[in-house]
Amino acid sequence: MSTSSFDAGRLASLAGEAGVFRGESVLLVAPPGSGKTWLGLEVATGRAMTGGRSAYLSPLRSLASECCERLRVRGVDVVLATGDYHLPLKGTWRVLVSTYEKFDSLWRRGELGVDTVVVDEVHVVGEGRRGARLEGLLCRLRDEGVQIVALTATMGNPEEVAGWLGAKLVKVVPRPTAPRIIVCRDKNAEVVRLVGEAVREGKQVIVFVSTRRSAESLAAKLAKKLKLNIGGSAACSFLPTGLSELAGKGVCYHHAGLSGSVRRAVEDAFRQGEVRVIVATTTLSAGV
């Protein structure tokens, strides 16, 4: 089934028709911003309310932390397990939020007893070593009869993947939009211009770069050029001096050279709107 509407209620209705709230495995392919994460959290919450246990898996440690907080606000008994952070798994928890790799390790040890697993960004299954590990995990979950709710915005062969998972396919077809093509002659100057344009429109921006040095130097350049002067915040108070000064100007960098607690503080400041721009390496986007 497919639809061109991005209404989250409609998305839930389509997934519901496919049996997602009755324990059926579902592959949901829908554009960014269409409500996939919300739907995954609804499935996890519903399972918790009926006394079951579920897991929500993300490739992003930052997103895992955010989803954990969103579930906690709903009153769900939730635990978080990522490379940075691991709450004890004993007790009455109902939802585990984790990265792929951490969950795979816990599952192999037989510590979990979950009957539903929501897998965000499932297209990672086609990406190198990390994808191969996720593929193996999905095979084990499928073979053990666990409900799999797989979410993705982009997948070239959804029918084939749905068949492999033993899942029903729900596909949301995006409306076509005209592409915006930008030719960059001076990359840094163009990045500064585009980021400035987005910030002036009230948006927040994440810029991905390949090295720690690039993250720090571009963050400093953006802070100097944008001149946001937002000031301090509770989240920024946990940052080391140099990074705190940048945060006061609305910009931060994020890379593996920072401790886990500092990275989380940067993410919290961004989530609260105190930081408008983050320049990051893949540590922000990958649960490694």
Secondary structure of 194-243 as H, E, C letters: HHHHHHHCCCCEEEECCCHHHHHHHHHHHHHHHCCCCCCCCCHHHCCHHH
Rounded to whole angstroms, the Cα distance separating 35 from 87 reads 28
pLDDT of residue 288: 31
Rounded to whole angstroms, the Cα distance separating 222 from 36 reads 32
pLDDT of residue 116: 97
Residue reference for tokens 């997602």: 20
pLDDT greater at residue 89 or residue 271: 271
pLDDT bracket for residue 7 (50, 70, 90): low
Tell me what the pLDDT averaged over the chain comes to. 83
Point out which residues pair with 58 in neighbouring strands. 99
This model's pTM is above 0.85? no
Rounded to whole angstroms, the Cα distance separating 37 from 270 reads 19
pLDDT bracket for residue 234 (50, 70, 90): low
pLDDT of residue 287: 40
- For residue 286, pLDDT beyond 70: no
Superfamily of domain 187-284 in the CATH hierarchy: P-loop containing nucleotide triphosphate hydrolases (3.40.50.300)
CATH 3.40.50.300 in the chain, residue ranges: 2-172, 187-284
Average pLDDT for residues 278-282, to the nearest whole number? 88
Q: What is the pLDDT of residues 58-87, one digit of tens each?
A: 987 878 888 898 898 889 999 998 875 565
Q: What is the pLDDT of residues 99-111, one digit of tens each?
A: 999 999 889 888 6
Strands 277-280 vs 251-254: parallel, antiparallel or unpaired: parallel
- State the fold for domain 2-172: Rossmann fold (3.40.50)
Average pLDDT for residues 247-259, to the nearest whole number? 89
Angle (nearest 5°) at CA 154 between 133 and 99: 35
By the 10 Å C-beta count (0-12 exposed, 13-18 middle, 19+ buried), 201 is classed as exposed
Q: What is the pLDDT of residues 128-184, one digit of tens each?
A: 888 899 999 999 999 999 999 999 988 888 999 999 999 999 988 765 555 555 555
